[in-house]
Structure 1
Amino acid sequence: MENKTPTPPKKPSNFWIDFGPLLVFFGAFQYFKRSQPEQAMLWAAGIFAVVAVIALLIGWLKYKHISKMLIFSTVIIVLTAALAIFSGNKTIFYMKPTVINILFGFAVIGGIFIKKNVIKIMMGEAIELPDARWDTLAMRWGLFFFAMAALNEYIWRTQSEDFWATFKVFGFLPITFIFTLTQIPFIQKHGKMRTE
């Protein structure tokens, strides 16, 4: 009798769970700025937080699994949105991407030194690399997160509120995607992508 190893279920595509709330945030901001330009960001932040929590619950109910990164991001969204709304200080919400990216940067680079490579944990099922190369890849991602934090700080401090809201939704994601693509030659040179 043939022994068959059960095939693990494929990981779900979480695009709408991850980025749906961002699109709702952008739509809400565009809607409210027409009638309440001074309060539009705070209204949009509140809606963003509510939708982020709903998306988290949908993800759990549908897939019975939620990434720790998504849980962490949702907690930060809710906290910064609540603080911004109750204090009336939009700066708190502007700094949310800064805080998240700095914490991710420290987590990724710190993981190298405690032998808990976060990037390997996240991507190890799809990529084969020697441990030393995993550390290099993690260092690159850590520095990228710090760069994204600095970019967010520059944008919200120097550009208009409307520009920041647009860039938050349609700028950070393409930059992250492009950075990911730039790492493929390194992976191909020192390892390989898993096909199974």
Structure 2
Amino acid sequence: MAGRKINPWLKLGLEIGPVIAFFAAFTRLKDQTVTIGGTEYGGFILATAGFVPLLILTTLILWRLTGRLSPMQVATLVLVVVFGGLSVWFNDERFFKMKPTLIYLLFAGILGWGLMRGQSYLALVLEEAMPLEHEGWMILTRRLTAFFGGLAVLNEVIWRTMSDAAWVNFKTFGLTAAIFFFFMAQGGVFKRYGIEEKDGR
């Protein structure tokens, strides 16, 4: 069922606002520690503790305004709550840093399962927005599956070998830029297999 249309800028703000807020909070608190109940919490954990409820709030607002959430949004919210909560509970940032790896592996696995069955699950989500021929969807899905797998590996390398600040910059800007440039690079697929262009409509 299609959701209700809302202002695209409001939708964008609700989707990326928590990520920007996490970046801002970490930048401000990264060199600070707070003692609560005899336990010291660093800036990363404090930023995570604020990010989790903020994402829950903005996702609920988005659902209330549009009447629906995509499977990607639901999966992201669940993993953020689980792994963000574990990071705060155990005062260990590694749980939260693993979250993008699991998200991208999950998406790659779902898309890969569809490919094994000769289907593009990506088309089920995006077909109305980007009508393509079946072969176009299969090509795009294969590429996106490999791309998600690569992002999962890259996230693991960065959080395990670099500083907290490097990982936060990667998560905030690097992942967003990578996804943007990936879809920009698929212009040939959209042009060749786009139904509207081929039919001249």
TM-score, scaled relative to structure 2: 0.85
1:68 aligned residue: 71
SS in structure 2 opposite 1:57? helix
Distance 1:22 1:147 in 2: 21
1:120 aligned residue: 123
Distance 2:137 2:15 in 1: 25
**1:115 shift after superposition:** 5.0
Q: Is 2:98 the counterpart of 1:95?
A: yes
Distance 1:171 1:114 in 2: 32
**1:89 shift after superposition:** 1.9
Deviation digits for residues 134-164 of structure 1 (CA, Å, limit 9, x no counterpart): 1121111111100111111111111111111
1:25 aligned residue: 22
Identity %: 28
Deviation digits for residues 36-88 of structure 1 (CA, Å, limit 9, x no counterpart): 29611111111111110000111122222221211110110010011111122
1:165 aligned residue: 168
Contact 2:120 2:137 in 1 (8 A): yes
2:80 aligned residue: 77
* Among 114, 132, 135, the residue aligned to 2:135: 132
Q: For structure 2, list consecutive stretches of 5 or more residues without a partner in the other structure.
A: 35-40
Change (3 A) 1:168 1:124: same
AA in 2 matched with 1:138: T
Deviation digits for residues 80-114 of structure 1 (CA, Å, limit 9, x no counterpart): 01111112221111111101000010111212233
SS in structure 2 opposite 1:129? coil
Q: Is 2:83 the counterpart of 1:86?
A: no
SS in structure 2 opposite 1:95? helix
Q: For structure 1, list consecutive stretches of 5 or more residues without a partner in the other structure.
A: 1-7
Q: Is 2:56 the counterpart of 1:49?
A: no
Q: Is 2:43 the counterpart of 1:40?
A: yes
Contact 1:46 1:85 in 2 (8 A): yes
SS in structure 2 opposite 1:89? coil
2:38 aligned residue: none
1:176 aligned residue: 179
Contact 2:102 2:152 in 1 (8 A): yes
Distance 1:11 1:66 in 2: 13
Contact 1:127 1:193 in 2 (8 A): no
Contact 2:6 2:65 in 1 (8 A): no
2:144 aligned residue: 141
**1:116 shift after superposition:** 4.7
Over aligned residues, Cα RMSD in angstroms? 2.2
Change (3 A) 1:12 1:113: farther
Distance 1:52 1:9 in 2: 20
Distance 1:129 1:15 in 2: 25
AA in 2 matched with 1:148: L
The total of aligned residue pairs comes to 189
**1:12 shift after superposition:** 5.4
